[in-house]
Amino acid sequence: MFRTRQSTTNSTPVINLRPRFDFGDGEVRASRHTNPDGSVGGWVADTAHVDDTAYLAPEAKVYGNARVFGSAQVLDRAEVFDNARIGDGATVMERAHVYGYAQIDGATVAGVARVAGNAQVSHGALVTESARVSGEAKVRGGRVGARAVVKGRAWVDGGTVGGDQLVADDAVVRGPREAALV
């Protein structure tokens, strides 16, 4: 986990501890996040950013060029990577992955759900279970769950998408915009 390097400047050996962590593609420089309550949080690559006000569970991971802002939470074994952005009030939890250029704002991604590409999830939406949201899809409010897939330029504006449903291309699903709860 730590690499040592010796420097012999002025004939005095100096040992620099360089924390490293393997996020799955080989070791990179990283460190543990310190949560607002002072507890030890998850791993954050030196190339990623997590605000001091955000909370990371000890097994959570943020890497690549990912960014976690404000009061966002990355809980359990969730992972945020590539160029994903997790905004204030968002929660990524359980074994969910958010990656690519995806953005989560004021919404929850849970279970083993995946949000990828340029997808946007916001306005109290819940993406859960084994659901997938990708491409340039937008989920604003409502719920996407089970094995549902929302992709392409599809738009879910409230309501529920579940089961094995596919919402793709330029399709629009509208329903009541109630904040989904986990």
At 176 the pLDDT is: 77
Cα radius of gyration rounded to whole Å, the chain:
19
Contact present, 63 and 23 (Cβ < 8 Å):
yes
At 14 the pLDDT is: 52
- How far is it, in rounded angstroms, from Cα 156 to Cα 111? 19
| Closest to 83 (Cα-Cα) out of 97, 70, 64 | 64
Per-residue pLDDT in tens (0 to 9) along the chain, 182 residues:
444 444 445 556 555 566 999 999 899 999 999 999 999 999 999 999 999 999 999 999 999 999 999 999 999 999 999 999 999 999 999 999 999 999 999 999 999 999 999 999 999 999 999 999 999 999 999 999 999 999 999 999 998 999 999 999 999 999 875 544 44
Contact present, 160 and 178 (Cβ < 8 Å):
no
At 11 the pLDDT is: 57
List domains and CATH numbers for the chain: 30-174 (2.160.10)
At 179 the pLDDT is: 47
At 89 the pLDDT is: 96
Contact present, 68 and 49 (Cβ < 8 Å):
yes
Q: How far is CA 8 from CA 12, 16, 17, 136, in A?
A: 5, 12, 15, 53
pTM > 0.85: yes
At 126 the pLDDT is: 98
